[in-house]
């Protein structure tokens, strides 16, 4: 059975590969990827695997977006640390999921379910893939159920203050620290990583421009066309780095600007 792993945490990748090697099934892990962009490019250039193990929260967004960018007809087993309404919907659509930390008995059950589904769909000459309508519904459910963060607590010596989300221009990561940059230009260290912020911020207001930057819509000063179909984004207040949006993410960025 040829398997692809989509997971942005190295430890989780290694643990899943170890578990797969110890199952009663003959598993060949083709590759591991950490982001939507990498995954989309792989599917565009390679034959599909038999099965994909896919984390829901990746380094550059929700993995559901992969299905909007490229065609994926092979079955998916989603993995997640969170059990919520959107995840329960996978059961209705006959798409299995595993809660982290993954247990061997659950992994074996998912692999058996794949074999059973494959046998039945082979007879019907169909597939067990998630439809685009189902993916869009899951994205909608994921957004509807979230209570997004309204403010951040800033520590300065022995004093505490809060910054409202609407007063934030952008966040950036540097040297193992995450910084919040307010509209007036002040910079503060916060205790969240960018990967965590992606799930705490309203996606209508904030967009992950790159691995290092998440920006508020009001901080986007302009965007310039750049080499290889990428975009260069200029922020206000000015960022210390050049910010480039990858070719694969440009359509999402433009859609976000027009919301």
The answer to whether the beta carbons of residues 127 and 50 sit under 8 Å apart is no
- Whole-angstrom CA distances from 9 to 12, 14, 32, 62, 129 are 5, 9, 10, 14, 25
Calculate the CA dihedral of residues 235, 238, 239, 240 and round it to 10 degrees: 150
Residue in the structure block whose two tokens are 């692999």: 111
pLDDT at 97: 78
| Residue 102 and residue 207 in one domain | no
| Residue 195 and residue 239 in one domain | yes
| Residue 182 and residue 252 in one domain | yes
User: If residue 159 lies in a helix (H) or strand (E), which one and from where to where?
Assistant: strand 159-164
| Residue 116 and residue 57 in one domain | yes
Q: Go through the chain and tell me how many residues it has.
A: 259
DSSP per position, 49-78 = -SEEEEESEETTEEGGGHHHHS---S-EEE
| Residue 163 and residue 59 in one domain | no
Domain stops at, among 144, 162, 188: 144
Candidates 236, 200, 198, 227; CA nearest to 214 is 198
| Residue 138 and residue 158 in one domain | no
- Model confidence pLDDT, tens digit, residues 132-184: 555 555 555 555 555 688 999 998 777 888 999 999 999 999 998 999 999 99
* Average pLDDT by stretches of 10, the chain with 259 residues: 93 94 95 93 94 85 83 85 54 62 91 80 50 55 65 84 94 94 95 87 92 96 92 96 92 89
CA-to-CA distance for 145 and 199, rounded, in angstroms? 12
CA-to-CA distance for 76 and 144, rounded, in angstroms? 23
Q: Which residues pair with 42 in a beta bridge?
A: none
pLDDT at 244: 95
| Residue 29 and residue 81 in one domain | yes
Domain that residue 100 falls in = 2-144
Domain stops at, among 144, 175, 197: 144
CATH number, domain containing residue 109: 3.40.50.2300
CATH number, domain containing residue 164: 2.40.50.1020
| Residue 139 and residue 177 in one domain | no
pLDDT at 91: 45
pLDDT at 94: 42
| Residue 7 and residue 123 in one domain | yes
Could you count the other beta carbons within 10 Å of the beta carbon of residue 198? 21
**Helix, strand, coil % in the chain, rounded to nearest 5:** 35, 30, 30
Task: Count structural domains, the chain.
Answer: 2
pLDDT at 89: 45
Domain stops at, among 144, 170, 192: 144
| Residue 13 and residue 129 in one domain | yes
pTM above 0.75, yes or no: no
pLDDT at 143: 54
Residue in the structure block whose two tokens are 């199952």: 23
| Residue 83 and residue 166 in one domain | no
| Alpha helices, H only, 83-220 | 85-92, 104-124, 132-144, 194-200
| Residue 11 and residue 132 in one domain | yes
């Amino acid at each position: 059975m040829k398997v692809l792993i989509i997971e942005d945490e190295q430890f989780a990748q290694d643990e899943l590969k170890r578990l797969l090697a110890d199952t009663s099934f003959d598993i060949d892990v083709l590759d591991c990827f950490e982001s939507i962009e990498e995954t989309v490019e792989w599917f565009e250039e390679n034959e599909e695997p038999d099965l994909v193990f896919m984390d829901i929260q990746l380094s550059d967004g929700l993995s559901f977006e992969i299905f909007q960018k490229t065609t994926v007809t092979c079955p998916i087993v989603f993995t997640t640390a969170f059990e919520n309404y959107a995840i329960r919907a996978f059961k209705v659509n006959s798409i299995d999921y595993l809660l982290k930390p993954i247990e061997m008995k659950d992994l074996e059950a998912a692999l058996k379910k794949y074999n059973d589904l494959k046998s039945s769909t082979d007879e019907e000459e169909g597939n067990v893939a998630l439809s685009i309508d189902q993916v869009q519904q899951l994205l909608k459910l994921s957004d509807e159920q979230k209570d997004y963060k309204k403010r951040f607590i800033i520590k300065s010596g022995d004093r505490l203050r809060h910054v409202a989300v609407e007063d934030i221009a952008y966040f950036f990561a540097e040297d193992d620290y995450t910084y919040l940059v307010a509209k007036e230009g002040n910079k503060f260290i916060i205790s969240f990583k960018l990967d965590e912020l992606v799930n705490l911020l309203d996606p209508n207001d904030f967009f992950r421009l790159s691995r290092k930057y998440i920006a508020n819509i009001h901080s986007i000063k302009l965007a310039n066309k750049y080499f290889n179909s990428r975009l260069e984004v200029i922020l206000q207040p000015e960022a210390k780095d050049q910010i480039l949006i990858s070719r694969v993410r440009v359509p999402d960025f433009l859609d976000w600007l027009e919301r």
